[in-house]
Structure 1
């Protein structure tokens, strides 16, 4: 192995943006990374940076990009295992999901925007993995309303999938499992904080309970869910 090869960083897939769009191209969730779609920070007469104006300009740029993206992908339905590719402003955008004309516009699209030189096949693999995880988290549905009702899981999914533009995980099942585990941990942490501030705040174990003592509403709901799943498996 040459010294040059040994000093090179590992080859990691990288993206400029990950977006979850509804059938009309509206952004339901997503993140932009690096300098992509960021406006230069304007300055006033004293040379001070106007952060509010910069933020507004950046959002306007992103909305403009998303409108052009929607003009390319509107009406195209991409299978979960066969992502479609378009070019927008010189960037490669790969997406899964969507609805064909006449089939309604309920299904969302998962879009990965790649930097110049990134392989279309790599981007397709990334989009397909995240779409698979999203479908699993939503119980097999990628309907707009389902996404809106579970936005916290969608943002957790993006974070588990990508960090600062660097892809961390692509396997749909592993991503979904990581999101559910993290969501459970955050719910438990919030529950513990609530208990420490306001006492137990518990309720007596009711029809779902077989546990002695008090338990919180979150614990009761969790136990009820586990019992329902157990009954379904038995049937």
Structure 2
């Protein structure tokens, strides 16, 4: 008997790539790569899998609301996003969901589209490589809110984005405030001294606005 309801969606991996195929963030679940490992290390096996995945999806732009499906090393993968028009390194990021054997392609596409929508919410509508790299802490929080141990927890984009910002808020409150009214550790995660508002990332701007509100 399975420990989980039979209709509860599960995934083997949630990955975020840039337009050049570099993994920016992601998590693998379970041990599905061990079957492919052989004498290779786990890191080498992951690299081999991701290269095979990129060979299938490279150059293909999938609409945020219409994920594409490919098969890689016996696994079904759904992805949304693609390269920016006009090319250039580090284009629009891709969100990829790798499913276990037998998982519905429609389910995987739905999960992928929901996370991509949440990512776009968090990045202020821009899902380019630089924006994602500047806000990786939010991306990893998003993955955790979306999926726990391979079990999908939430698929609605707006709810996921709200949950991520709430967790980020709680993390800043636990760290306390410094004498300047900013969260402790802001020199690493928030707005550094001398940086203008126009240079802030989405996460930094959010923290500054929150700190100003709490200081009033």
TM-score of the superposition, structure 2-length normalised?
0.80
Q: Paired residue for 1:99, among 83, 89, 94?
A: 83
Q: 1:26 to 1:94 in 2, by over 3 A?
A: same
Deviation at 1:139, TM superposition (A): 0.2
Separation in 1, partners of 2:152, 2:4 = 18
In the superposition, relative to structure 1, how do residues 156 and 101 fare at CA in structure 2: closer, same or farther (>3 Å)? same
Q: Does residue 76 in structure 1 map to residue 72 in structure 2?
A: no
Name the counterpart of 1:87.
Answer: 71
Alignment of 1:1-235 (within 5 A): 9-38=5-34, 57-99=41-83, 102-104=86-88, 105-191=90-176, 201-203=178-180, 216-218=181-183, 221-222=208-209
Deviates more, 1:73-82 or 1:96-105: 96-105
* Counterpart Cα distance in 1 of 2:183 and 2:4: 49
User: TM-score normalised to the size of structure 1?
Assistant: 0.73
Distance, in Å, in 2 between the alignment partners of 1:90 and 1:124 is 17
Q: How many residues align?
A: 190
**Could you tell me whether the CA contact under 8 Å between 1:73 and 1:86 is conserved in 2?**
yes
SS in 1 for 2:62: coil
Q: Considering only CA atoms, is the larger Rg found in Structure 1 or Structure 2?
A: 1
Query: Could you tell me how far 1:116 is from its partner in structure 2?
Result: 0.8
Is the Cα contact below 8 Å between 1:95 and 1:127 reproduced in 2?
yes
Partners of 1:187 and 1:224 in 2: CA distance: 9
- Partner Cα separation in structure 2 for residue 93 and residue 75 of structure 1: 16
Would the alpha carbon gap of residues 86 and 154 (structure 1) be closer, same or farther in structure 2, given more than 3 Å must change?
A: same
The CA deviation at 1:163 is 0.4
